[in-house]
Amino acid sequence: MTGCGANLDGAFGGLPENVTVISRPSEDTPGAVAGDVGAIGCVRADARLERTRAFVKIQDGCSFSCAFCVIPQVRGSSRSRSTVTILAEVRRRVAQGHREVVLTGINLGLFRDRDAGVRLPELVREVGRTPGLARLRLSSIEVNHLTDELIAALRDTPAVGRHLHVPLQSGDDDVLRAMRRRYTADGYLRKVEPLSDFQLTTDVIVGFPDEDEAAFARTLATLERARATKVHVFPYSPRPGTATAQADRIPAAVKRDRSARLRAWSNAACHAHWLAKLGREDVVLVDRPGRGYGADYSPWLLDAAVGELVPVRAQAVVEEGILAA
């Protein structure tokens, strides 16, 4: 048993004797497994070769301490891969036929290659220079890390799509403070304001302890003002060992109701975003038969070969996305 859950004290107690739980940082796990099962143990397979999109991990762990989050415990504080290794992996992925690279990690803004003096903005510029790379995205970015340098790097790099996933979690300042999120709703709005030409998607936790109806309404208002188009909704559930592990005061029915209202808001916002594209042009990277993503990561429906970049014009909007003319 490996993975971040295996690092959570007691989470996998009481398993049969023939199950070994490896509670180690991710970078030590392959060696531990290989030592346990022998030479056949760990091969880093070049999986997903058939896919258009490659996910390249640039860092692991998190040095923040959000009250609800178990990740710093199970994955440890932030560590970054070296720039040289990341660039080599990106080049290899592109040579294998991947057209799009998504830089992933737990908290990308914490990426630091101290030896090379490279932070995330420089890394974006470096990766963006990879010959043959058509699209480059960040999996998500904390709002505190949306610096002028990063925004400039995103804008200056032609491969970077006009999409950012910036977790909000709540639009109520009291809830944000209780979550230890290090920003206010207005602070969030100020940071995303210069990015109005980017599609903004986000995460929200509903039913955090003491989130009342007024706080929830402030979250909706903040999403509206931020012009977010898609919300990943997480009904709050306490995690062992976190600051709010013992606090779960909002009834399940209230969480369900707020989650449903937020999902309905998200669907409507997404639909409106697609409708605004009617008659407009875009370039779609086809990532599976009949479907692909435009420059701002909106889904398009079209008939073209997988892996192709196809100029399109929006003809209609259907439930699954934008129909290309």
Question: For ligand SF4, which is the closer residue by CB, 72 or 128?
Answer: 72
d(CA 2, CA 288): 31
Contact 16, 270 (CB under 8 A): no
Residues 59-78, one symbol each (x = binds ligand SF4 by CB under 6 A, - = not), give ---x-xxx--x-xx------
Least distance to ligand SF4 from the beta carbon of 320, Å? 30
Least distance to ligand SF4 from the beta carbon of 155, Å? 24
- Number of chain residues interacting with ligand SF4 (CB under 6 A): 10
- If one asks whether residue 107 binds ligand SF4 (CB under 6 A), the answer comes out as yes
Least distance to ligand SF4 from the beta carbon of 234, Å? 10
Stretch in the footprint of ligand SF4 (CB under 6 A) among 12-20, 57-65, 268-276, 313-321: 57-65
Task: Among 142, 172, 211, 296, indicate the residue that binds ligand SF4 (CB under 6 A).
Answer: 142
Least distance to ligand SF4 from the beta carbon of 102, Å? 17
Among candidates 291, 302, 301, 308, which has minimal Cα distance to 100? 308
Contact 156, 125 (CB under 8 A): yes
Residues in contact with 129: Cβ distance below 8 Å, sequence separation at least 6, in sequence order: none
- If one asks whether residue 226 binds ligand SF4 (CB under 6 A), the answer comes out as no
Among candidates 81, 145, 100, 83, which has minimal Cα distance to 306? 100
Question: For ligand SF4, which is the closer residue by CB, 59 or 259?
Answer: 59
Helix ranges (DSSP H) in the chain = 29-37, 71-75, 83-95, 120-128, 148-156, 173-179, 185-192, 213-226, 252-275
Least distance to ligand SF4 from the beta carbon of 114, Å? 20
- If one asks whether residue 140 binds ligand SF4 (CB under 6 A), the answer comes out as no
- How many C-beta atoms lie closer than 10 Å to residue 196's C-beta? 9
Tokens of 46: 């070049």
Report CA Rg, the chain: 21
**Beta strand extents in 81-138 (DSSP E only):** 100-104, 112-113, 118-119, 135-138
Question: For ligand SF4, which is the closer residue by CB, 91 or 182?
Answer: 182
Least distance to ligand SF4 from the beta carbon of 58, Å? 15
Interface with ligand SF4 (CB under 6 A):
62, 64-66, 69, 71-72, 106-107, 142
